[in-house]
């Protein structure tokens, strides 16, 4: 059986390069039009061209999200945009709006279209309708169970692929179609402007007692009743593959290269069976995340599992290697504080579990330092490990590990 594609997010070129290096088969990004994320995560056309050439040189694919709900005034510009994306070498666009699908296929029939999870496709008849309109892949609704995906797979053509999310943040609304941000802030999550009010803390107020606030308590210090867990499917990828999933999708176009590197590395190793799942589960605790669960894949969500709404992490991003370690010297760019004596763990696609003790730090002026405390400064470390350019350095944070274990 062919291994499923591992599809990673990228909000900038550093994340895209990290995704490719750590084992993604394809990367999805946003462009300048209808990309459903904040503007800072949008690739300009010249960077889309660069990204496509880079990924194709590595025998990988590039997809571009065009998944905002589309207005009348955007249909004609969308046609020009589709032609441009195809000319830049984009392998497919990810689309939610039915009118956008029609416009893209009219303008550039050769450009493949994947149907976004935002389209709420949760049955084989809907999948066939999209297929007949020219779609080549369905990103299934997040509310589908594994059994429902398997049934869909059995009733659609082999050439119509199925993509499913396996990791990352989940919206509390049906397949992400949420109006809370629009209502409270005038900023629509369906147009890439979500302010995430579902993560906020709320109180109950009785109309005739406007100054009496009753806290909706889950924990003594915090409550986030509307905040969903994060998805984690690394322990049952084989079940998703057997159900007919062709592409495992990681959420996170707003995430950092540290996050992308860790998640892609863990899922790459899980797919290839090159490391024990127990260790890979621990790797996913190294990154910032809300409490994990398995989504709807095994049926309805478990409601008695409390979610504190907070982010947890076991490690912090110490730096990234700029060059291969040579003669015991390693040049890095610092990302967060670390100090002499710290055990620097190395995240690398070439090895697993590598680490070295930080015994010497030298700054750009040639001065020895006791700490690395200046953001993004360039440093040289004494290093006893076989670190390669692009490897990630991290420091385990005991305080956060305690919070996670509670």
| Strand residue runs (E) in 236-366 | 247-250, 292-293, 315-321, 329-334, 338-339, 343-347, 354-357, 361-362
pLDDT for 405 equals 32
**Domain-wise residue ranges, the chain:** 5-170+229-293, 175-215, 315-405
pLDDT for 256 equals 93
Backbone phi, then psi, for 323, in 5-degree steps? -140, 165
Pick out the chain residues at pLDDT < 50.
Answer: 304, 400-406
pLDDT for 50 equals 98
Measured CA distances, 274 to 3, 265, 277 (Å): 14, 11, 9
pLDDT for 41 equals 79
pLDDT for 213 equals 73
pLDDT for 219 equals 52
CB burial string 240-268: b at 16+ within 10 A, e below: bbebbbbbbbbbbbebbbbbbbbbbbbbb
**Are residues 34 and 51 in contact, defined by beta-carbon separation less than 8 angstroms?**
no
Q: What is the rounded distance in angstroms from the CA atom of residue 29 to the CA atom of residue 322?
A: 24
Calculate what percentage of the chain has a pLDDT beyond 90. 72
pLDDT digit string (tens) for 95-142?
999 999 999 999 999 999 999 999 999 999 999 999 999 999 999 998
pTM for the whole structure: 0.87
pLDDT for 38 equals 65
- Provide the CATH topology of domain 5-170+229-293: TIM Barrel (3.20.20)
User: Is the CATH number of domain 315-405 3.30.200.20?
Assistant: no
pLDDT for 204 equals 74
pLDDT for 69 equals 87
């Amino acid at each position: 059986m062919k291994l499923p594609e591992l599809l990673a997010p990228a909000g900038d070129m550093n994340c895209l390069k990290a995704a490719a290096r750590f084992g993604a088969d394809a990367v999805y990004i946003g462009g300048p039009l209808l990309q459903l994320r904040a503007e800072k995560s949008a690739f300009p056309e010249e960077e889309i061209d660069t990204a496509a050439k880079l990924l194709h040189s590595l025998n990988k694919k590039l997809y571009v999200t065009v998944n905002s709900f589309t207005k009348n005034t955007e249909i004609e510009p969308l046609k020009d945009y589709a032609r441009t994306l195809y000319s830049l070498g984009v392998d497919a666009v990810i689309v939610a709006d039915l009118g956008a699908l029609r416009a893209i296929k009219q303008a550039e029939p050769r450009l493949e279209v994947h149907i976004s999870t935002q389209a709420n496709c949760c049955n084989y008849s809907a999948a066939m309708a999209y297929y007949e309109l020219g779609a080549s892949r369905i990103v299934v609704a997040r509310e589908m169970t594994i059994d429902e995906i398997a049934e869909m797979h059995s009733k659609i053509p082999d050439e119509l692929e199925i993509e499913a999310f396996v990791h990352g943040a989940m919206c509390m609304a049906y397949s992400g179609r949420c109006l809370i941000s629009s209502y409270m802030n005038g900023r629509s999550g369906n147009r890439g402007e979500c302010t995430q009010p579902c993560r906020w803390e709320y109180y109950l107020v009785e109309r005739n007692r406007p100054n009496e606030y009753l806290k909706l308590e889950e924990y003594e210090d915090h409550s986030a009743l509307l905040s969903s867990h994060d998805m984690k499917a690394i322990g049952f990828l084989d079940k998703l593959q057997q159900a007919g999933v062709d592409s495992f999708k990681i959420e996170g176009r707003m995430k950092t290269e540290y996050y992308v590197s860790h998640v892609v590395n863990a899922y790459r190793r899980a797919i290839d069976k090159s490391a024990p799942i127990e260790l890979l589960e621990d790797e996913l605790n190294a990154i910032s995340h809300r409490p994990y669960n398995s989504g709807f894949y095994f049926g309805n969500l478990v409601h008695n599992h409390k979610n504190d709404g907070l982010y947890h992490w076991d490690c912090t991003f110490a730096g990234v290697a700029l060059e291969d370690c040579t003669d015991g010297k390693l040049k890095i760019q610092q990302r967060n504080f670390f100090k002499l004596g710290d055990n620097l763990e190395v995240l690398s696609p070439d090895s697993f579990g590598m680490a070295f003790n930080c015994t010497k730090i030298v700054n750009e002026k040639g001065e020895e330092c006791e700490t690395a405390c200046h953001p993004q400064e360039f440093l040289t470390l004494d290093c006893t490990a076989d670190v390669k350019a692009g490897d990630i350095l991290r420091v385990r944070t005991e305080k956060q590990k305690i919070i996670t274990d509670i």
